[in-house]
Amino acid sequence: MGKVAEQPQGVVVQSSTQVTHEPRRSGKIRHEPEIYGFLVTQDNDVLLVDNDEPTTYAEAVTGPDSEKWLEAMRSEMESMYTNQVWTLVDPPEGVKPIGCKWVFKKKTDMDGNVITFKGRLVVKGFKQVHGVDYDETFSPVAMLKSIRILLAIAAYYDYEI
For 11-31, give the DSSP string.
EEE-SSS-EEEPPP---PPP-
Residue 91, in any domain of the structure? yes
Task: Answer whether residue 30 is part of any domain.
Answer: no
Residue 119 falls inside a structural domain: yes
Q: How many domains does the chain have?
A: 1
Report yes or no on 58 lying in a domain.
Answer: yes
Domain enclosing residue 74, as ranges: 50-135
Cβ atoms of 68 and 118 closer than 8 Å: no
Query: Minimum mean pLDDT among 9-18, 100-109, 113-122: which range?
Result: 9-18
- CA-to-CA distance for 118 and 52, rounded, in angstroms? 13
Q: Which of 65, 53, 51 is nearest to 120 (CA)?
A: 53
In this prediction the pTM is 0.54
**pLDDT tens-digit map of 20-50:** 777 888 888 887 777 766 666 666 665 566 6
Average pLDDT over residues 77-87: 91
Distance CA 100, CA 122 (A): 6
Query: What DSSP element (H or E) covers 138?
Result: none
Evaluate whether residue 140 is within a structural domain: no
